[in-house]
Amino acid sequence: MTALLMKPESIPPTSAGPWKGDPPEVDRGSTPGANQSYTSGTNSISAGIVIAPDADQAAGAIEKTMSSDAITSRVKGTLAPAPNVTKNAMVVNGTSADGTASTSVLMFSEGTVLATMTFVGKLDDPVSPDYLDSVGVIQLDAIQQNLSKVGG
């Protein structure tokens, strides 16, 4: 399952240096998945994947989740498409709910995998759209390269 997560060394470094990843965590519950946190200076990325029963359910969860309290209670921003990652990718760019950090949440699906990525940085230094797209594509590539290995 953790093979579906991008490797820290595959993420382009920030001005603070290379990304370091915490050990990935696996959830083998009713909705199997995995997540990992990455840091570079004061910047952080949390990446999570879940395996849906089928591709339609994975794709259908994107807009529903992105407009739910689970996201809107954490990020003040506007929901928008992120087509440079995948045709169904959605992003909310804005600030943390308390207004102390820049926060962006990216969500997309690939086959049965639903991926969510949260980018957090200094309030005056939000993640750029190009960087967000680039890291999203790196996560997408990890899924595409390894999905058959985990039985998805």
What is the predicted pLDDT for the residue at 127? Answer: 95
Cα–Cα distance list, 71 to 64, 118, 130 (Å)? 10, 10, 22
| CATH of the domain spanning 2-150 | 3.40.1000.70
pLDDT of amino acid 149: 84
Domain spans, the chain: 2-150
Cα–Cα distance for residue pair 144/43, rounded to 1 Å: 26
| Cut 0.85: pTM above it | yes
**Can you give the pLDDT at residue 112?**
95
DSSP string, 94-121: EEETTSSEEEEEEEEEETTEEEEEEEEE
User: Which residues of the chain form beta strands (DSSP E)?
Assistant: 20-21, 25-27, 33-40, 43-51, 75-81, 90-96, 101-110, 113-122
So what's the pLDDT on residue 152? 59
User: Could you tell me the mean pLDDT of each successive run of 10 residues in the chain, 152 residues long?
Assistant: 96 96 91 95 97 95 93 94 97 96 98 97 95 98 92 64
What is the pLDDT, as a whole number, of residue 150? 80
